[in-house]
Structure 1
Amino acid sequence: MQYFSKSPEEWQKYDEERKKEKERREQPKKRIIRWTFYIVIFLSILSLIFIIIGRRGSRFDLPYNVVIKGIHINLESKEEYYYPDNLDIKVTIQNTNNKDSHITINNFSFLIVNQENSEVVYSYVFPQPVETDISPYKTILVFDLLREKEISNLDKGTYEARVTFVLNDENVNLVKTFNYNKGLIIDVSAKDMFYLTTEFPSVSILAVNGTNETFNKELFGTLTIKQNEKVIHSQKFSFGTLNLNPLSSIPLDFEINKKLDPGNYYVLFDFNSLEQTYATTLNIVNQTDKNYNDISLLVYVISAASRGDQLDFEGLLRNSNKQPRAFEISQVRFKLFYEEQLIYNYENNDLSRVYIPELGTTRVFDLSNVKTITLDRSGKYEIQFSVKIGDKIFSKKHTVEVY
């Protein structure tokens, strides 16, 4: 018999050599997988040790969060409040043990202190002992500031919420820092996600009087555009005298009197009259993209929920290319069905621009900005979401089970 390529013996030898070469190439990969496996096991054991230690009596020394013998005590507060927000501060206790726990609380004290001058702006004291049993993994509310007093209209500054009490003969001291903002609040952003090199970029400015007094002051300053720390452009601006009633706002538009080369820029608005500086970014491109390769649609939404939960949904475009992309969206659609019956329909046909950084994502739809939807019936909900760019439609379907 004649072999036109190799004999069986030669093929066997060839296969053995290929097998050895493949094993040699895969050795580094196998080592990585093996060490990754060891690291995962180590981290899992370490986490288990922390859980056991935490439950059996040690504390995690966070200023607003401690664990004592499996009892988790937490001081809850937002980090930023804006006038006229009421302070929303709570103290909760959770039993992380797998059996009932009996607790006694003595000499409970709650303070709000101005960090700058140490002034106590509110105090609450409850010296009498309180006893209760907590079921495994159950959380109870110990203190709710909103039930005791509505506190707002604080001076602008940094404050501390301080809590002290005795839990089963153990001293508990918690501190949570927060800022209370009061004054003229400025929000600066580019009007569009990108601009062409043939256009003068525009910036939107929203001025909000976040005080209980009328704001009457001239608004002026200097705009500076930078790229890689290099100043590209600078110009003066003035919006004249603003007369804003308490909690009112006014939108202001500003056009930059310079066309820019393609790239990403950092824009600084230095409001001299306020002694404050705000920043935003500008993305400049030669032209909008017509090629939709490497673009895909993502949705962020839960698959299961409890009856009465609010539906949260976000739609994003993902760029798998190593170059940024700039598109014009001509349509966004969101439909919600309950048991195959349409219960909400949103459609926006306004032309809008979207800029997606290299290997990044950009949000193109957020349901919370257009509608608050409560999942008030048990059963199956279906979401149909689509985005149209040019003649291409990107679409997704998603099912949410409500129990």
Structure 2
Amino acid sequence: MTLVAQLQLEPAVEEAMQRIFITLHQHPELSNNEQWTSEQIKRELTALNIPIKEYGLKTGVVAEITGKADGPIIALRADIDALPLSEETKLSYKSTVEGVDHACGHDFHTAALLGAARLLQAKRDQLPGTIRLLFEPGEERHTGAKAMIKAGVLNGVAAIFGMHNMPQIPVGQVGVKVGKLMASNDNFQVTINGAGSHAAMPHTGRDPLVATSAIVLNLQTIVSRNIDPADRVVVTVGQIAGGHANNVIPDNCCFRGTIRAFSKESRTLAKQRFNEVVAHTAQAYGQTATIEWDQGPSPVNNEPIVTKLVARQAKQFMTVIDPELTNADDDFASFEEQVPGCYVFMGSHGQSNLHHSDFIANPEALKYAAKLHEQVALALLARAADGDQL
């Protein structure tokens, strides 16, 4: 299916989104420290006469656009935090904060949702219910969704919709898939405790560097010898730290990494085998292991009814494609565990992938993102108001 015509929004809406996007990109803030960003969002919403709702959150913003007061509630979500990364682009509006960059496009997400807020506020009197806007902090640290859910932001919500920009997809296209879309995420940090010694006399100590090397190699068998080849699981060690001199064997060594999976069974098995491999290999080398485990979100899993509705709305002005599964994660999954939801990949064609120092989200895609937020919210609200299942 090809794009019927180039989408056009009111110039004021497009100009506002571009302005907000540039401003946010220049002033990125790390997870759970998005005070300035939150204030900018509140200022934009207040200027639109959209009430801010207090949920006791340290950062992040919740607001509501209400038509019929006793009607259903639909939630739209955007994440707002940046990454600890130095930007290496030639943008005229590049980050002004050293070592912090919106290299995942959360500035794009925030600007698009604020653009949708403008569109929806103009139709407030026609709404058969309420649109709840969720500007989530701390997504990169997997803390934002948990905090918002605990605070009660999903109370009364019939369905939720969100999106992530995707630089591999052209502008004007959107990836929509029923069911699993993104992987679960579990992060680990392991300390191997040995005994230091002179490097020339290794027999007098217990070398944690050698033990760590063996463990990292043995971990590769989790996927190849334990997981069904038809399933998708990734076990990656991304950081190893140990030692401080060429002639000294240290007392300990640390390594960190991540596990990604698409099924609960494989996720559970991978964790079980990880603990066994680490503990038993360390023991074989006469050492001990301390494991710190960070259980992140479950897989993003789109509800069929909501997702098919999203696809129908998108087809009116975009090209809808079947996106590839990605081993990346997103804590939008935590919202979907509570209410029916759909998460899509919005085409934002750029020069490099997410989380790269030269990542660029194409602002030309903002109008498509805002329009899709608006149309999905209206369609979901109308369906819920009619009493149809979501």
TM-score (norm. length: structure 2): 0.18
Larger radius of gyration: 1
Higher fraction of helix: 2
Of structures 1 and 2, the one scoring higher in RCO (CA 8 A, sep 6+) is 2
TM-score (norm. length: structure 1): 0.18
